[in-house]
């Protein structure tokens, strides 16, 4: 029994002090994830740069949760973006079990300006306010997900283009994933504009986007004219729009 105890202590000690860069070689990772500058141990480690689909997430720190092993999982609490220049921040749980990679209770926040700059929009649009993405649960499956639920909020929202600004105040949307298909449905209300919208993205990168906007008293004339040019109105003064096609994702 004494020998068994010593062996158990030895095994635990090896696992605790196993270098993180070595341990990650044996843990399955999504191909969209790129980690560089790995340091520390499997118990407590750090990544200097984490990228998801070529989007820079900044640094990553994790702390292993040993009791997850009794559930047949390898889980860790993570903190994202501690050193990021534009203050991307995030906390949550990431793990691996017999069904693959999962995420739980992940909360990400970022300035709206940072989000707009990384969307590579075709028009010179700037954004103000703060974005928050909360992922209640997520199960990875190529190319996007197997299942998941979450919510996006944009507070103190405002967009600006050609020296004209539109206060959107608060924008919110609910995210779901089922059988690999992502769905988004949301709304926005302010004195300048009201809107509702929805989008569906399939595993084949095909998207469908539709919704409506209703101009308010504070909407700048330039935006009002642009909406009237490209959308049709109904009896309630709402302008409908829709679009579909193939989404081009970064390589």
Q: Tell me: the pLDDT tens digits for 59-106?
A: 889 898 888 878 888 899 999 886 545 578 899 999 989 888 999 999
Q: Averaged over 54-59, what is the pLDDT?
A: 79
Would you tell me how many other CB atoms lie within 10 Å of the CB of residue 230? Answer: 9
Supply the DSSP string of 164-189, one letter for each residue.
EEEEEEEEEEEEEEETTEEEEEEEEE
Whole-prediction pTM: 0.83
Whether 11 has a pLDDT exceeding 80, the answer reads no
Q: Tell me: the pLDDT tens digits for 108-150?
A: 999 998 888 877 776 788 899 999 999 999 999 988 899 999 9
**The Cα angle at residue 249 between residues 247 and 250, in degrees rounded to 5:** 160
CA quadruple 247, 153, 117, 62: dihedral sign: negative
pLDDT at 17: 58
Q: Tell me: the pLDDT tens digits for 229-248?
A: 877 788 888 999 888 999 77
* All residues at 6 or more sequence positions from 183 whose CB lies less than 8 Å from its CB, including other chains: 175, 176, 177, 198, 199, 200, 201
Q: How far apart are CA 117 and CA 102, in angstroms?
A: 28
Whether 221 has a pLDDT exceeding 70, the answer reads yes
CA quadruple 58, 62, 68, 72: dihedral sign: positive
* Beta strand extents in the chain (DSSP E only): 33-40, 44-52, 55-65, 74-80, 89-97, 100-111, 126-139, 147-161, 164-178, 181-189, 193-201, 206-215, 232-233, 239-246
Q: How far apart are CA 185 and CA 193, in angstroms?
A: 17
Residue 248 φ/ψ, nearest 5 degrees? -95, 115
Radius of gyration of the chain (CA): 22
Supply the DSSP string of 123-166, one letter for each residue.
S--EEEEEEEEEEEEEE--TTS-SEEEEEEEEEEEEEEETTEEE
Q: Which 3 state secondary structure label does DSSP give 243?
A: strand
Q: How many CA atoms lie within 13 A of 128 on its CB side?
A: 11
Largest CA distance in the chain: 83
What percent of the chain clears pLDDT 70, i.e. is strictly above it?
A: 89
């Amino acid at each position: 029994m004494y020998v068994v105890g010593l062996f158990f202590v030895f095994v635990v000690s090896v696992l605790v002090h196993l270098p993180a860069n070595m341990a990650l070689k044996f843990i399955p990772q999504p191909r969209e994830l790129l980690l560089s500058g790995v340091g520390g141990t499997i118990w407590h480690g750090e990544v200097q740069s984490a990228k998801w689909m070529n989007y820079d997430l900044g640094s990553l720190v994790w702390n292993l949760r040993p009791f997850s092993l009794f559930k047949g999982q390898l889980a860790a609490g993570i903190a994202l973006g501690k050193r990021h220049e534009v203050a991307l921040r995030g906390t949550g749980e990431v793990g691996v079990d017999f069904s693959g990679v999962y995420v739980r209770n992940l909360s990400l926040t970022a300035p709206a300006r940072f989000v707009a700059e990384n969307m590579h929009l075709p028009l010179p649009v700037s954004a103000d306010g703060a974005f928050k993405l909360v992922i209640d649960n997520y199960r990875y499956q190529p190319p996007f997900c197997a299942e998941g639920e979450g919510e996006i909020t944009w507070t103190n929202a405002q967009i600006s283009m050609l020296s004209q600004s539109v206060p959107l105040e608060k924008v919110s949307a609910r995210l779901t994933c089922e059988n690999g298909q992502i769905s988004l449905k949301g709304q926005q209300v302010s004195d300048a504009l009201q809107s509702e919208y929805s989008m569906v993205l399939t595993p084949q990168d095909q998207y469908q986007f539709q919704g409506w906007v209703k101009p308010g008293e504070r909407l700048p004339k330039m935006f009002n004219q642009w909406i009237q040019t490209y959308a049709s109105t109904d009896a309630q003064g709402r302008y409908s729009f829709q679009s579909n096609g193939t989404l081009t994702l970064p390589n």
